[in-house]
């Protein structure tokens, strides 16, 4: 069991999706993750399909899972995004750290 709920995670090939709400897809340790909610307000107005590339994210992962069809799942979301590429289209260039 986790002893904390926030993790700094180095991810690759991040893309912001905005079908209705701001979501992200990215690769972490060779596995593709999709439809992860983004709560970093700097990305609320990004164009759908904005490519971020490699980044460090602050991911929220709760201590307790919920169960669906006897399978444990966790609500996960991205609280903040720190792009590692300075040339980002359609995203704000003011990246300041936020105290959590």
Q: What is the pLDDT along the chain (100 residues), one digit of tens a residue?
A: 556 678 899 999 999 999 889 999 999 999 998 989 999 999 999 899 999 999 999 998 777 777 888 887 767 899 999 999 755 444 444 444 443 3
Query: Which pTM value belongs to this model?
Result: 0.72
Strand, coil or helix: 43: helix
On the 0-12 / 13-18 / 19+ scale of CB atoms within 10 A, 12 is: middle
């Amino acid at each position: 069991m986790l002893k904390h709920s926030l993790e700094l995670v180095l991810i690759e090939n991040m893309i912001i999706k905005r079908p209705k709400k701001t979501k992200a897809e990215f690769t972490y340790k060779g596995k593709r993750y999709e439809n992860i909610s983004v709560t970093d307000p700097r990305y609320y107005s990004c164009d759908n399909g904005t490519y971020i590339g490699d980044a460090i994210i602050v991911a929220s992962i709760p201590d307790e899972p919920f169960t669906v069809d006897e399978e444990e799942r966790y609500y996960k979301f991205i609280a903040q995004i720190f792009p590692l590429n300075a040339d980002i289209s359609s995203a704000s260039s003011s990246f300041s750290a936020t105290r959590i």
